[in-house]
Chain A
Amino acid sequence: MNKSSTAGAPPRRTIEIVNASLKRRYARERRFRALGLTAVVLGVFFVVLLFADIIGKGHTAFQQTYVRLPVTFDAAVIDPSGTGDPEVLRQANYGALIRAALREAFPEVTERREIRALGAMISVGAPSHLRDQVLADRGLIGTTQEVWLLADDDIDMLVKGHIDRKLPESERRVNDQTLGWVERLESEGRVAKRFNTIFFTHGTSREPELAGIAGALAGSFYTLLLTLLFSFPIGVGAALYLEEFAPKNRWTDLIEVNINNLAAVPSIVFGLLGLAVFIGIFGVPRSTPLVAALVLTLMTLPTIIIASRAALKSVPPSIREAALGVGASPLQTQLHHVLPLAMPGMLTGSIIGMAQALGETAPLLMIGMIAFIVDIPSGFTSPSTVLPVQIFLWADSPERAFVERTSAAIMVLLAFLILMNLSAVLLRRRFERRW
């Protein structure tokens, strides 16, 4: 009975079941692909947005406004008694030369307040540049030269268009009078934007036009060099021992878990540890590349150990067996055969660890690196700051001109990071062997 009632529908064959579900399965796959693609596109979009924002804000910082004025190197001001003594030349009042040049360019300005405003158009760093010129060439004394003088940051912002000239005077940082002077200088062709060498050769400054990243770059360089010197030998040694020599027991398991854990510890914790142990107990001087490197070593060690162990694991056992078979000692096997083959992977891991250390700020907050240090550090124990901390400090400065400098410093930092990651990729491509 039952059978006859269903006889109308033929029995379903497997292929039909498959065919029926095929459409759904294809759709599911298309959805998955679309989602994946969306994720990638979204990621790329935000990266492009970030870069566009940073480069858009920062590219103007690579140029700096200068004002060309005829400066009379008056012997009566520079070296009244004609001694030619470098100390006298160094102490001379070069600011007076600039003020005299400005007075000459704007003879109608006579009131004391206005003269001050006139002088404020030129950076406070300009006199020392004149001094350097005179010290380099004594022949300048007594002559009148057309000199490009560094402009103040407000003038720089005005010339670059970051201060809107059409705004009413009360809302503008540069008043009408100064604006008039700048426009007159511009019409005479005395204002120009030139490549901002100061940005790459000077330490930081409270005057945006005099602020540079050389100090922070040098600090980052010393810190990374020491970090590499500390962490690479320790990291590779630890990996080699754990992977090749250590017995496999509960203790090594515990150590392995701890290393993996350390890789995930928030970096600020390493800063606190550095403050308590390195500064507090061992008395390592604060704010120096040495203490920063010690802290960053702790932070990058897990990365290097994990990468090095992975590299060692990928060396096939046949290499070890062959070396042992021809009579090499276990140490010789490792140092002569396994280590060279694993080295590219270890270096890649180290470079990525270093790139991480280069961009790190949080652990450095605790050990006195958030500091205003003008002098370019000269060694491992001179006070210094690092690039990301410099970015942090500039981002927090009220002066408008620091906005573009912050972005420019970020560009430099990103350039170094890209360079390091690229070299890691190239190293892997070039030397990695697959079995």
Chain B
Amino acid sequence: MRRSAITTAITVALAALSTQALARDSIWIAGSSTVFPFSTAVAETFGRESSFPTPKVESLGTGGGFKLFCSGVGVDKSDISNASRAMKRSEYEQCQANGVTEITEVKFGYDGIAIANSKGAPVIDLTLSELWLALAKDVPNEAGEFVANPYKKWSEINANLPDAAIEVLGPPPTSGTRDAFVELAMEGGCNQFDAVKALKESDQDTHKAVCHGVREDGAFVEAGENDNLIVQKLVANPNALGIFGYSFLDQNGDKIQGARIAGVEPTFETIADGSYPVSRSIYFYVKNAHVGTIPGIAEYVAEFTNEKAWGPDGYLADKGLISLPDEMRASVAAKAQALAPMDQPSK
């Protein structure tokens, strides 16, 4: 009895090892958690409506996705990489070095970063420079010297802002949303100061540290990767502001409201036309060497770049995607479906 049980166990284990998928038959997508909701929606529809199996989508973060994507060609490497920023030159070179030579870049939409507070509180209108003053680690004083951020209340920065303590909940540094927030909002705000501008010419490293440094004295609270949690905390605390992807604002419009940035409210329209300043492009990258080896990649790209998916009325819009302008969609779709390889990124 015992012997047969052990034999069965060994047989099962060996069978499991020997059936190890040498040829993968489903697409493997990995990368940004920002792109994850869109990528999974396309993958699911693709699996339902085509004869191919549903792709596997992993949420590793943009950097982790590229690392896997650029590690080589083969069934044990991912086929498509999702990214909430463009591929960097260093990543492209890494790809080239590992034999991933032809990569198709598909920019498929925009993602806005919303700064929001509870619906009960007044709508806040901030400029990027005010936002930077509120959140930076070091700010210039009147003499143009950098001192530790002295601001405790919004009203100390601008008398028109509420007389409440600065309390901002945001994502941790591992998050793509945080990267984008720092690059778009913080850097955009800090470059409006003469003292910082002078730095940019003289000392780029210090300039970056000054612009990207987020204060650590409790005014900025790292609230974890879970944006739903930030929404709950905002509802509980009307004085706090939260930073998260636009789709969470869209889904929770009854609980929270977006702050105006330089007078522009975050909406589909303002993010799409670029007037809302804290928005970024989102991408996916296709490994051309896998097309034809792994079935369905070209069809997946076609599904993603189809009007019924990424168009302004498509199902991705329901998930919070902000579509590219019409002409741009047409040209990107043509390039993507032809799998035209990208050039080396300039930075």
Contacts and interface: CB of A to CB of B under 8 A. Distances in A.
A239 interface: no
Contact of A370 (B59, B226, B313, B315): B59
Interface residues of A, number: 42
Contacts, number: 105
Nearest to B249: A398
Given A171-B254, A172-B254, A381-B16, A374 B47 contact: yes
Contacts of B53: 375
Contacts of B13: 226, 229-230
Interface stretch (B17-25, B194-202, B271-279): B17-25
A229 B298 CA distance: 41
B217 to A, nearest CB: 28
A379 B253 contact: no
A396 B253 contact: no
Nearest to A232: B9
A383 B27 CA distance: 11
Interface in B44-95: 44, 47-48, 53-54, 56-60, 76
Residue of A206, A230, A233, A380 with most partner-chain B CB within 10 A: A206
Nearest to A403: B228
B208 interface: no
Interface stretch (A62-70, A240-248, A278-286, A349-357): A278-286
B127 interface: no
Contacts of A396: 33, 225-228
B16 A206 contact: no
Interface stretch (B35-43, B158-166, B323-331): B35-43
Interface of A: 116, 124, 128, 163-164, 167, 170-173, 205-207, 226, 229-230, 233, 283-287, 290, 368, 370-375, 379-381, 383, 393, 395-400, 403
A290 B17 contact: yes
Given A171-B254, A226-B13, A374 B37 contact: no
B128 to A, nearest CB: 25
A277 to B, nearest CB: 15
Contact of A372 (B19, B57, B247, B313): B57
Given A128-B48, A379-B19, A374 B226 contact: no
B172 to A, nearest CB: 14
Given A229-B12, A233-B9, A395-B228, A173 B43 contact: no
Given A206-B319, A371-B56, A398-B320, A286 B76 contact: yes
B253 A171 contact: yes
Given A233-B9, A375-B53, A398 B227 contact: yes
Residue of A172, A370, A372 with most partner-chain B CB within 10 A: A372
B43 A374 contact: yes
Given A206-B41, A371-B57, A371-B59, 4 more contacts: A226-B13, A287-B56, A395-B228, A396-B227
25 contacts: A128-B48, A171-B253, A173-B254, A206-B37, A206-B44, A207-B44, A230-B13, A285-B21, A285-B76, A286-B76, A290-B17, A370-B60, A371-B56, A372-B57, A372-B58, A375-B53, A381-B21, A393-B59, A396-B33, A396-B227, A398-B227, A398-B228, A398-B245, A398-B320, A400-B251
B152 interface: no
B247 A398 contact: yes
Nearest to B40: A372
A395 B226 contact: yes
A402 B200 CA distance: 45
B151 interface: no
Contacts of A229: 9, 12-13
Nearest to A222: B16
Nearest to A406: B228
B260 interface: no
The 9 lowest CB-CB distance pairs between A and B, nearest first, are A380-B16, A372-B57, A372-B40, A374-B54, A371-B58, A398-B251, A171-B254, A206-B41, A229-B9
B41 A164 contact: no
Contacts of B30: 368
